[in-house]
Structure 1
């Protein structure tokens, strides 16, 4: 609506309101009922129009393809804000895995160094009785 139409609507409303007090009660009641009926139709009609407008917008966006992603100024920001936490999580999990692997390698290297520097032959470590003896001696020391 342009300003000329708005001005005309205000003038008509003003002229109708000037003689409102002179109208008979039966006429004002009928006008009130007509207004209520119009509002009821408008309220029932409004959600349908909203749905139709939403469907028309979705249909138009689908026809444009990738252009729809860039039609809104910061629409990409919402998508990126979903991806960034996922990337941080994956990077963190990879870091934890690498740290655990390095710890395991360090423990194995320490164990290998202890076995190689010991005076016992390697066959002693393979003997099940020797393992039981070591476990028993560790328990008695504690």
Structure 2
């Protein structure tokens, strides 16, 4: 009997193959003996072919060194580079905007302090009314 054990490294092809094998094994008792023996022999040949393919799997990277499956540590490290660049860019944008806001506030503060009117005049409700009345009179 075969086990239907799956692991975290199973590929979709492996899972599909296991599902088909389970489906075929479900009706194994209804197949005549000679057919089941031919199927068993074909299964053994397929497994032997699969084992030969797995033992010959060698990937050669651009540097010429052979890797036995998976990616090298430097490739995984390079995969982090876009995330670092994005983080750096967002921090730079945030700091630039904060500097602009600070410069604008400093400019307003400097204008208030160097103006002829005292800063308390801008908070006076009567002064705001006076400015509105003068603005309306200037437009007439």
Q: Normalising by structure 2, what TM-score?
A: 0.46
Q: Larger helix proportion, structure 1 or 2?
A: 1
Structure with higher Rg: it is 1
